[in-house]
Structure 1
Amino acid sequence: MKFEHLLSLVNGFGRFQMMIIIISFIGRFTLPCHFLLNNFIAAVPSHHCDLSALDDGSVFGNLTQEQRLTVSVPVQEDGTPSSCKMFPEPQFHLLSNSNNSDLATVPCQNGWAYDNSTFKSTLATEWDLVCDQKGQNKATTTIFFIGVMFGAMTFRSLSDSAFSTSFIMFAVLRFFTGFGITGIVIVSSVLSVEWVDIEHRKLVGVIDSLSWTFGYCMIPAIAYCVTDWRQLTIAVTSPLALAILIWRWIPESARWLIANGKFEKAYFYLQQCAQMNQKEEFGSKITPETLSSIIVTERKDRTHSYLDLVRTPKMRRLALLTGIVWYGVASTFYGISFNITGFGLNIYLTQFVYGAIELPAKLSAYYLLDKVGRRNTEVGSLLGAGVCLAINIFIPRDMSVLRTVVAVLGKGCSATSFTTVVLYSSELFPTVVRQNGMGYNSSMGRLGVSLAPLILLLDEVWRDLPQVILCSIALLASLVARMLPETRDRCLPETIQDVEDGQTGKSLAGSQVLEMTDIPLKSKDNVEVENGY
């Protein structure tokens, strides 16, 4: 007998499962606020060299601000003042002759003056992370996601970065912020899948993903109201206090406890589930001793580690393929998400539209996951994202509306791929190493996210190079996803041996839930053991 059969006794989708979903939702909706926070706290407003030192010396006389810029700062090709260069001396003749192409320039000598109409303060304006230092500004996103990559379930230092007094201090604390919130993603995703029956697994996966969409749409609204980067950091962190308080009610995975021989503890949570779901008859049919007999083929008397992901041939293949897909999905999703200033539109509106498109994208995922399967949905959505990225390479820059529409469509495809890969990969790994597998996949995804901001910096080498790289990554990931097995309507594998034996693929329809009245579960000596799926 498999765990799915036990779920049929306690109700695989009742109040107990709804409690897990709601608690996970509260914690998870804050994640995009942190993951996308750098789009706002590290935003670079319009700026030019600070001319106040020259003004103090009465060099400009009665010149207007526009005239001061004309004689002091060269004009770029688009007609705007240069952000990083100035003339060594005021060029007053430019007031009558606008040709400044042959004049010598120097880097800004006295800092920068920033346009504060959109942001009161950002990392860039506080520590002058522009021009030659703009790489450090982008690096804050990479540092945060490196922290996420190595993170575990800890919540300390989540808001300390708001009180940083230097860039180095901020970068270090952002690393630990990322480190601290990783557990929310891994634990909530795994528990949501493991506590529900096969029929509702897809629904729970999509609901879990919609919590992200909610947070995605919230961050631009919060950032619009809070324009100081320190206050914004505190604002998006505060809801985690509630998540910490209610996280104590999240149950452990009974499936994992059984697979690891912890039957008494598993029985406690199964009873708790049965009581909440009003299935009181569970206690009269199942005992802790019964569990040890029923799941005898699933029990291993050792602790599993990340090494188990690569000890056997099919597990190695599974880890390699899912790791590549996660890297591709994350790189594509965040490569698009971080590029919110490249279309000439309002930064808040662009971010909101990027979030809003996820709702229809995830509803389409809900439909497609059953109609065409997990694998085809993953392959198709990655392919769609890659095609949209490729199309935008050939659309002229001055057609900002069309470019935005195509980018939003690409964002929708990437959101579908992310929704699918979380559910898909959790169904591929066996119970005994599912959290290890999801942790590994999450790390591969965060590696992709960490490199995405650095890929966007390559636009200085060639304007369209970031788009070409992201497009190539998406297309490669779609090809790799095609090599994974389908999991639609399949029982979750329990042990590594199940994966090696190819038992990941047997449908529940081929192993129907046994009528409990036909099995004398109370009698330990008469328990039937069902092998396979």
Structure 2
Amino acid sequence: MKFENILEEINGFGPFQIVLLILLWTPRIVLPCHFLLNIFIAAEPAHHCDITNLDDGGLFENLTQEQRLAVSVPVREDGSLKSCEMFAEPQFQLLGNRSNSTDMPTVQCQSGWVYDNSTFTSTLATEWDLVCDRKSLTKTTGTIFFFGVMLGAIAFGYLCDKYGRKNTLLASYIMSIVFGFSSAFANSYILFAVLRFLTGFGLTGISINCVVLTIEWVDTAHRSVIGVLGSLAWSVGNMLLAGFAFLATDWRSLIMTVTAPLGFAVLTWWWIPESARWLLANGKVESAKFYLDKCATFNKRTKLSSKIKQETLSDVEILEKQDKSHTYLDLIKTPQMRWLSIKAGIVWFGAALTYYGISLNVSGFGLNMYLTHFIYAAIEVPAKLIVYCFLNAIGRRKCQAGTLLLTGTCIAINIFLPKGLWHVRAVIAILGKGLSEASFTVIFLYTTELYPTVVRQSGLAYVSFISRLGVSAAPLILLLEDVWTLLPQIIICSVAITSGLVSLLLPETRNMRLPETIDDIENPRKKDVSPLTTESSGVVLESKSTTTETKE
């Protein structure tokens, strides 16, 4: 059976598909708010040692706060107070000459720290004193979160292909809400880290389900527009995160704020249809008919129930009795699927590492962090709209390769540009940021078109897992700046160019129907679209397979 023929009959890009896209926008907006949440909740405000205990016997009684700090805390070369050191004893002679403080004996902070609360009321760093020798623990929460995302991709990829898109989407909603809100009330660092891991695990199901559901319900000609419009939710969520963080300066309040929209997503879940492609691929004919008729009615088309021959349903019901179970092993069992998975994995790793490497390494414009974050999120919108213009014009493969290769080129240019040309460097960096996000937009659409329906979720889960390896590697690569200033840029540039070249080896999917079975990948010639044939008794939709011809 050719599912595209059915979509043409009931309108594959009508009000039904638009409403589905809108319903799935809310949970997709939540994703960047959580994925980039650590930028704000793990921020380390300015701080210095708490000097309260040094005021022994009222020695500081006649001193101003500025003078108390002057005799208690050493200063850096730029004149700011050191964050992790204090004098063993008050050095009152420094009231006259502050420049001699470098030779004074110092110790680590003895009674905790005092934090600047002008920007943040509370962060993870201030809550559990994750500064100085414990400052790495704030970064660790991000790593733990993405580790949960990685494992969630594997788990939900299997569950989605086994039990359907809709049911696992609800499970993802509930997990994300429960563990998201719970993490806001964590009373210890360890408990918080565990709950963030589980939150990341749940959010992955939303990520892969929303993408696949929208693509599987749209016809071939409109997959590009649906893919790009859906991806704009990420950019909108990214911009909203800046506003949420500005208004909710306490980390607990911020977590609850960015998790709350999922409550609305749960309420709207009842109107989200199951993927008819998945239902047909798994022999659930009656359920598929129900949703297809629902789509036809919503799009003001004639229901298909009256057009499909009874013998066609009988043929499909035979397949329904066959216990066909697909696992992750199907991604590597056969030669073409194996090569597809290897190449797709390389491209996803490169796109993820490049995007997060640039995002974490691009400096601001001298503005506050909220406005800077908003600007870099807003830059992604025109980049996605521009890439949409090219998706149908030159195809997915060239767009994927072009965005990655141009991103690598932007990084390479900035490697050689002198620091003094900061205006030019900023423009190139912004362009590279936009191109890296455009590559992510293409790859989500491209991957859903590359993998067959029977393992599409498993394939998307696998590449999502690989991409999180790239995300985890990005901050580690940036640490290599201490070895050689240009080394991180050289590595990220090389990865972007390499993955761009590998993407040229993937097959083109523009104007091609989505593959339904693994045999469609192994024998691409059998995937040709057959015409829709009309007979007096109804419409017969034919599908070629290596062993069985099915009709619906």
Q: TM-score over 0.5 for the alignment? A: yes
Match of 1:138 in 2: 139
- For the Cα contact (< 8 Å) 1:343–1:400, is it kept in 2? no
User: Which stretch of the first structure deviates more once superposed, 127-136 or 337-346?
Assistant: 337-346
The Cα shift of 1:56 comes to 5.2
- SS state of the match for residue 110, structure 2? coil
- SS state of the match for residue 98, structure 1? helix
Deviations 1:413-442 (A, max 9, x none): 111011000000111001111111111111
- For the Cα contact (< 8 Å) 1:49–1:113, is it kept in 2? yes
- SS state of the match for residue 265, structure 1? helix
- For the Cα contact (< 8 Å) 1:487–1:505, is it kept in 2? no
Structure 2: distance between partners of 1:342 and 1:359: 18
- SS state of the match for residue 243, structure 2? helix
- For the Cα contact (< 8 Å) 2:143–2:472, is it kept in 1? yes
Match of 1:124 in 2: 125
1:178 alignment partner AA: G
Is it true that 1:413 corresponds to 2:435 in the alignment? yes
Gaps of 5+ in 1: none
**Equivalenced residues, count:** 524
Structure 1: distance between partners of 2:539 and 2:75: 85
Of residues 348, 351, 361 in structure 1, which corresponds to 2:373? 351
Structure 2: distance between partners of 1:461 and 1:77: 23
The Cα shift of 1:401 comes to 5.8
2:75 alignment partner AA: V
User: Which stretch of the first structure deviates more once superposed, 207-216 or 497-506?
Assistant: 497-506
Of residues 231, 256, 263 in structure 1, which corresponds to 2:253? 231
- For the Cα contact (< 8 Å) 1:267–1:287, is it kept in 2? no
Structure 1: distance between partners of 2:485 and 2:105: 26
Alignment of 1:407-486 (within 5 A): 407-486=429-508
Is it true that 1:372 corresponds to 2:389 in the alignment? no
- SS state of the match for residue 506, structure 2? coil
2:135 alignment partner AA: K
Deviations 1:432-486 (A, max 9, x none): 1111111111111222223334444444555554434333332222222222111
Structure 2: distance between partners of 1:202 and 1:504: 24
Gaps of 5+ in 2: 157-170, 547-552
Match of 1:22 in 2: 22
CA pair 376-451 structure 1, distance change in 2 beyond 3 A: same
Match of 1:386 in 2: 408
- For the Cα contact (< 8 Å) 1:344–1:400, is it kept in 2? no
The Cα shift of 1:277 comes to 1.3
- For the Cα contact (< 8 Å) 1:141–1:453, is it kept in 2? no
Deviations 1:383-420 (A, max 9, x none): 23233334445567787665544432222111101100
2:50 alignment partner AA: D
Match of 1:54 in 2: 54
2:534 alignment partner AA: T
Structure 1: distance between partners of 2:318 and 2:493: 47
Structure 1: distance between partners of 2:459 and 2:58: 67
Of residues 534, 538, 548 in structure 2, which corresponds to 1:517? 534
- SS state of the match for residue 159, structure 1? helix
The Cα shift of 1:201 comes to 0.4
- Using the size of structure 1 for normalisation, the TM-score is 0.90
1:442 alignment partner AA: S
Structure 2: distance between partners of 1:389 and 1:505: 40
The Cα shift of 1:372 comes to 2.1
The Cα shift of 1:281 comes to 4.7
User: Which stretch of the first structure deviates more once superposed, 248-257 or 39-48?
Assistant: 248-257
Structure 1: distance between partners of 2:228 and 2:425: 28
Match of 1:39 in 2: 39
The Cα shift of 1:298 comes to 12
Alignment of 1:121-520 (within 5 A): 121-151=122-152, 152=156, 153-154=171-172, 155-156=174-175, 157-287=179-309, 289-291=311-313, 293=315, 301-339=323-361, 344-393=366-415, 403-503=425-525, 511=529, 513-514=531-532, 516-518=533-535
The Cα shift of 1:119 comes to 0.5
- For the Cα contact (< 8 Å) 1:358–1:416, is it kept in 2? yes
1:111 alignment partner AA: G
1:259 alignment partner AA: A
Structure 2: distance between partners of 1:387 and 1:101: 45
- For the Cα contact (< 8 Å) 2:350–2:499, is it kept in 1? yes
Aligned-pair identity (%): 56
- For the Cα contact (< 8 Å) 1:331–1:451, is it kept in 2? yes
CA pair 397-144 structure 1, distance change in 2 beyond 3 A: farther
CA pair 410-528 structure 1, distance change in 2 beyond 3 A: closer
- SS state of the match for residue 279, structure 1? coil
- For the Cα contact (< 8 Å) 1:2–1:295, is it kept in 2? no
Structure 1: distance between partners of 2:133 and 2:421: 30
CA pair 109-405 structure 1, distance change in 2 beyond 3 A: farther
- SS state of the match for residue 377, structure 1? helix
- Using the size of structure 2 for normalisation, the TM-score is 0.87
CA pair 417-188 structure 1, distance change in 2 beyond 3 A: same
- For the Cα contact (< 8 Å) 1:384–1:410, is it kept in 2? yes
Structure 1: distance between partners of 2:424 and 2:69: 33
